[in-house]
Amino acid sequence: MRVSRRQATLQSADSAAESFTNNSGFGSSNVVAEARRYIGGNPTGRGRLWCARFMNMVLQRSGHQGTGSDMARSFSSYGQRISGPQVGAIAVMSRGRRGGHVGVVSGIDDKGNPIIVSGNHGNRVAESVYSRGRIYAYVMPSS
């Protein structure tokens, strides 16, 4: 069976997510798996500005506290700050003058860019590669 490069990357992200869940000191819940459950939909019921609400919902449903804020930037001072992308970390990014965006790292592509599951990506939950230059904070979830 032939596997595309994107499928191989996502398969390795699945393996990394499983490894993170089973071997990390950050708890046994799987934030990536919880976020992926909603790909293609909008579980928040909001029409706009819902990426942070989605991230808080995913964190809560996977056994973590969230920020309680609908602002993406609220995650920049949340949890434990880390220096680069890791599966299960929350990535906080800018959207220029239009505010920010937040999601959970599900993998890293062959160029070092994070693969992120986020809400309000084209008005739905999606998994996509983001330029690492857009990310200004990576944080590991609080217990």
Strand positions, DSSP E, 72-134: 80-82, 90-94, 100-108, 114-118, 126-129
What is the per-residue pLDDT across 98-133, written as a single tens digit (0 to 9) for each? Answer: 779 999 999 999 999 999 999 999 999 999 999 999
The residue with greater pLDDT, 28 or 43, is 43
- CATH code (residue 28): 3.90.1720.10
Residue with tokens 């930037």: 73
Asked whether the beta carbons of 31 and 37 are under 8 A apart, the reply is no
The residue with greater pLDDT, 103 or 27, is 103
Q: What is the pLDDT of residue 108?
A: 96
Domain span including residue 50:
5-140
Q: Residue 127 phi/psi, 5° resolution? A: -115, 125
User: pTM here?
Assistant: 0.80
Edge-first strand listing for the sheet containing 80-82: 80-82, 135-140, 90-94, 100-108, 114-118, 126-129
Task: Specify which of 16-20, 46-50, 53-57 reaches the highest per-range mean pLDDT.
Answer: 53-57
What mean pLDDT is reported for the chain? 83
Q: How confident is the model at residue 79 (pLDDT cuts 50, 70, 90)?
A: very high
Query: Which residues 6+ apart lie within 8 Å of 74 measured at CB?
Result: 52, 67, 68
Q: How many domains does the chain have?
A: 1
